[in-house]
Amino acid sequence: MSKFEINDLPYAYDALDPYMSAETLEYHHDKHHQAYATKANDMIKGTGMENASVEDIMVSSFADPKHHGLFNQVGQFYNHVHFWNWMTPNGGGTKLPGSLEKQLKDDIGGFDAFKEQFTSKGGSQFGSGWVWLALDNASGKMEVFNTPNGENPVVYGKTPLLGCDVWEHAYYIDYRNARPKYLEAFVDNLINWDYVAELYEKGPLKIAA
Ligand code: MN3
């Protein structure tokens, strides 16, 4: 058993059609996610971090320039483990669990403000990256922001509640260059709010590193 093992999709490859095709998921899950895991398993050898948690490895490797190559792989491994769970057939829209909806209203301004920020920040991330809804570990506040490449809220002292992959490999087959259309479909038709609520109920991450 390797340290980094990718999770199976929690639905069939064609279950997210027409918003995300089986062809996209076959490439994205079977090829891209697997490649991040394979490289992370190779690069972790001899670093002394082999027994740390994935979260601790991300924080430590992100903080140390000589381990940025490892960070890129582990960050992307982690982001995709959650990404498959952040989507579900017949998902998206405004059916948020109550406690989550209340804080989203208090901190972001409600669903419409969330959607506006999430799609605009995802759309304006230059090049590859992610857009997030996260909790700040110190203040407990909800925030929407984007990050480049494989970076994620964990390395900034925040807890991811929801993330959307805006690398071209996530949408080019289905939307070509129309990233805004992909982001709108993600929010309106794909978000698994039950999984977001599950992470929200757990509260801020506790990182040892
Ligand atoms: Mn990806």
- The whole-number pLDDT of residue 1 equals 75
| pLDDT tens digits along 98-139 | 999 999 999 999 999 999 999 999 999 999 999 999 999 999
| Dihedral sign of CA atoms 104, 139, 207, 75 in order | positive
**Residue boundaries of the structural domains of the chain:** 22-85, 98-202
Q: How confident is the prediction for the chain on average, in pLDDT? A: 97
CA of 163 to the centre of ligand 1 (A): 11
129 CA from centroid of ligand 1 (Å): 9
Distance (angstroms) between ligand 1 centre and the Cα of 102 equals: 30
Dist. CA 87 → ligand 1 center (Å)? 13
End-to-end CA distance of the chain: 24
- pLDDT tens readout for residues 41-87: 999 999 999 999 999 999 999 999 999 999 999 999 999 999 999 99
Pick the CATH number of 98-202 from 3.20.20.70, 3.40.50.720, 3.55.40.20, 3.40.930.10: 3.55.40.20
CATH superfamily of 22-85: Fe,Mn superoxide dismutase (SOD) domain (1.10.287.990)
Can you give the pLDDT at residue 209?
Answer: 58
30-53 pLDDT per residue, tens: 999 999 999 999 999 999 999 999
Q: How far is the CA of 85 from the centre of ligand 1 (A)?
A: 13
Contact 119, 179 (CB under 8 A): no
